[in-house]
Amino acid sequence: MYEILKPLRPYFFSLREIKGNVSLDLKLPSKWKYEETVSVYKTLKIKVQDKNDKDVLVSFISDASADGYNTALQCANEVVEKNVEDEKKRELFDKKVREMRALFEESKLGDLENLKFESNVQEYDTERIRLAGEGNPKGSESSGESQEKDDTTTEEDKEGGPVQSP
């Protein structure tokens, strides 16, 4: 049992069977996202048991059967893996922004004008990623509707200016 639950540590809180259902409870950071991942699992429900500024206690609830246990465990693992990966990506992005800022502060303009970016990613999607100033010459391609809310997060850099995170 320990080996099965080990990937969920340190977020594992409890595993209960209640009225024919299994409830796998995780205590997750409140900023983590899980609704989209859970929505794929049609036989699984979630219930928020407790929430504060720091943590949220979420129950992954399914039938108390072999399939139900497996579904709850699989979904919980997916939520943890996705959020841990997203956190690592944000940390890496912030680190690369700090490195880029230092490079720009320490380099001469002429050197920066010749700066080129390369990627060693095998499947590089050039339509998704464009350098600043390399936008679509026809203008923005969108549905024409404005975005309802800002979906980025910001943090303060050491100089006090905002740093955008993906």
> Which residue's structure tokens are 């956190």?
87
pLDDT per position as a tens digit, 76-103: 999 999 999 999 999 999 999 999 999 9
Higher pLDDT among residues 10 and 129, named by residue: 10
pTM: 0.66
Average pLDDT over residues 117-123: 71
pLDDT at 159: 47
pLDDT at 150: 45
Q: Which domains does the chain have, with CATH numbers?
A: 2-86 (3.30.1370)
Distance, CA of 54 to CA of 131 (rounded, Å): 36
pLDDT at 110: 87
Model confidence at 152, pLDDT cuts 50, 70, 90, reads: very low
> In this structure, what token pair is assigned to residue 161?
């200016």
pLDDT per position as a tens digit, 36-59: 999 999 999 999 999 999 999 999
